[in-house]
Copies of this chain bind each other. A is one copy, B any other.
Amino acid sequence: MKKLSRTSPSKIVFLIMDGLGGLPHPKTGKTELDSARKPSLNRIAKDSLCGLIDPVNPGITPGSAPGHLAIFGYDPAEYNIGRGVVEALGIDLALKPDDIAARGNFCTVDNEGIITDRRAGRISTEKSTGLCRALNKIAINGAEISVLPVKEHRFVFILRGEALSPELADSDPQQAGLAPKEIEALSPQAQRTAEIANEFVSQARSLLRGETPANMVLLRGFSRRPDIPPIPEIYKLKPAAIATYPMYRGLARLVGMQVLPGGESIAEQLDNLHRYYADYDFFFVHFKTTDARGEDGDFWAKVQAIEELDNALPSLLSLDPEVLIITGDHSTPATLAMHSWHPVPFMLKSKWCRPDNVAEFSEQACLSGGMGRFPATEIMPLAMANALKLDKFGA
């Protein structure tokens, strides 16, 4: 791609509806997309090349990071991003290459040390910020420690120092009713790092004793930032991200995008798209609500989220980007109330896209689209081609 890509004035917009794909409602037999009133999405589908993407592989349920990496053209099996790194990037933390990051939760344990709430009743960000300040006073020989609040019960734990290793198992057992686990070294080189991390947890336990409900911490996803070739380098694009959630801003930054102001709603995000439209040639606009309502298991709220996005679309369409792609990073069917492995509706609108017979944006309709079912990693080359930003391959 590096050899074929070229810069041109044409604009590419990726509108990613997080967790877009769904499953039929048991009563109606219709998915969330089927059930939504969505005239703009349908109109775009009519002029688009449609299909269904497999974010990773058939049967594989992607986390948000691999789902987005695939859409941005990276093989998610090759570039594995740890949870800690994703969390750190989301709060604008400039991770150094050797920094080790973990995702932290404030949690509640009982008198026997058994977890009763993995999220400490989702304490307020203000409360969590104060507790992080206290934990930041912990000093351990051989490493510099930072504890940074994210949102509610979530924080980032950073270790910086010589000869440390991220090969550590989680302390978070991922369910209540168990005690937090001792952090295990997964390789001999990580022995010292494991000791430091366990010492931190032990001191944190003492410091938080007496707090209610956040009287303990859980750590998971120890990781270093992976070495990802940035989008400007591969595609000669000037990319920007408009996302409301920290994690997606972090992901965008990781692949070399400029992070622009987000906004409180999709309408505000699209206002920002207008504002910065002249300054970049690639935009990643991230819409979170479809996933959030899917995870809640609230079918009709997810339908409503789709309708909210559909209502905002005329603003985007008025910009008439040379290439507009609308898809999702994975499915989050409300009936499952979690991410799933099901392929995700996709459409690409451009002057040069060879439209198919699909006249509706839905799982079923996209199946017979011009792209059929295909891997998400093929989206970037398609976008570049339709923006006439790719040279011919070979003589």
Residues of B within 8 A of A172 (CB): none
Binary interface encoding of chain A residues 40-58 relative to chain B, with 1 for a CB under 8 A from any of its CBs, else 0: 0000000000000000111
A224 at the interface (CB under 8 A from B): no
The residue from B57, B86, B333, B395 contacting A381, defined by CB atoms under 8 A apart:
B57
Q: Is A63 an interface residue (CB 8 A)?
A: yes
Stretch at the interface among A121-129, A191-199, A352-360: A352-360
Q: Within 8 Å CB of A333, what residues of B?
A: 352
Q: Are A58 and B374 in contact (CB under 8 A)?
A: yes
Q: Are A382 and B58 in contact (CB under 8 A)?
A: yes
Determine whether A261 belongs to the interface, using a CB cutoff of 8 Å to chain B.
no
- From residue A271, how far is it (CB to closest CB) to chain B in Å? 30
Q: Are B57 and A378 in contact (CB under 8 A)?
A: yes
Instruction: Give chain B nearest CB distance to A366 CB in angstroms.
Output: 11
Question: Does A334 sit at the interface, judged by CB under 8 A?
Answer: no
Is A147 engaged at the interface, CB distance under 8 Å to the other chain? Answer: no
Question: Which one of A135-143, A252-260, A285-293, A384-392 is at the interface?
Answer: A384-392
Name the CB-closest residue of B to A368. Answer: B368
Q: Is the CB of A80 within 8 A of B394?
A: yes
**CB-based contact A62/B394 at 8 Å:** yes
A232 contacts chain B at the CB level, 8 A cutoff: no
Asked whether A355 lies within 8 Å of B394 as measured between CB atoms, the reply is no
Interface string of A310-345 (1 = CB under 8 A from B): 000000000000000000000001011011111000
A24 within 8 A of B: yes
Interface membership of A61, Cβ < 8 A:
yes
A60 partner residues in chain B, CB cutoff 8 A: 4, 381, 385, 390, 393
Query: A65 in the interface, Cβ–Cβ < 8 Å?
Result: yes
Q: Is the CB of B378 within 8 A of A59?
A: yes
Pick the contact of A59: B24, B62, B364, B385 (CB < 8 A).
Answer: B385
By a beta-carbon cutoff of 8 Å, the part of chain A in contact with chain B is 4, 23-24, 31, 56-66, 76, 80-83, 86, 103, 221, 333, 335-336, 338-342, 352, 354-357, 363-364, 367-368, 370-374, 378, 380-386, 390-395
19 A/B residue pairs, CB under 8 Å, sorted by A: A58-B381, A59-B378, A59-B380, A59-B383, A59-B385, A60-B390, A60-B393, A61-B391, A63-B392, A63-B394, A64-B395, A65-B394, A65-B395, A76-B393, A83-B395, A103-B395, A336-B352, A341-B381, A341-B390
